[in-house]
Amino acid sequence: MKIINFLSIITILFCLELSGQNKNIMLTYQQSKFIYSPGLEFNYFFNKKTGINLGINSFIFDYTPSQLVNISNHYITNHNHLHFYNFNIGLCYVFFNYKSFKIAGLIGGKWSYGPHFKPLYFYEDGNYYIYYDSAIEGQSDFGIDTGIFSYIGRYIFGVKFSTDNNKLRYSIGWAF
């Protein structure tokens, strides 16, 4: 809860300092096996075409104990809490701009610190996979973050792909 309060205060302060329509804020969501990952991202455009993207994401762990091996005790004892998952920074570029419609792309780096589950064994009697956490506890993963966004008026819709976990992250937001 402290993380959510901190992010809310930072968001409010960040929004109070900005003016014009070259900034935007987006809520993001990604889901993978046993993980629900909400996030918050900001884009700030230095000019009409080029900008910077910053994002932070957390995760909620939802697991089936019989389907996991080598999971950290930290995640098991705190499975209903938000955990830090990843941080990204990148460059945005507007490829197409016609009246109130824009298409922008994003490329950047992503630093992840959290579980990444992969199938280990198919349990035939139960007809399900047993998964293991391929992330090494205490170490982080790095990847490339790419995305495409559509600006329709003040609304933003987007999708991103990250190489650190090979999953899509969906975005919806507002430009101000």
What's the pLDDT tens digit per position in 30-64? 998 888 899 999 999 999 899 999 999 998 877 77
- Which CATH number characterizes residue 59's domain? 2.40.160.20
**pLDDT, position 116:** 74
**pLDDT, position 104:** 95
What phi-psi label fits residue 67: left (phi over 0), alpha (psi between -120 and 50 degrees) or beta?
alpha
Q: What is the mean pLDDT of residues 97-123?
A: 87
Residue 13 predicted with pLDDT over 90: no
How many structural domains does the chain have? Answer: 1
8 Å CB contact between 77 and 101: no
Residue 166 predicted with pLDDT over 90: no
Q: What is the DSSP letter of 65?
A: G
Average pLDDT of the residues of the chain: 82
Q: What is the mean pLDDT of residues 15-37?
A: 75
Find the domain containing 124 and state its range.
2-175
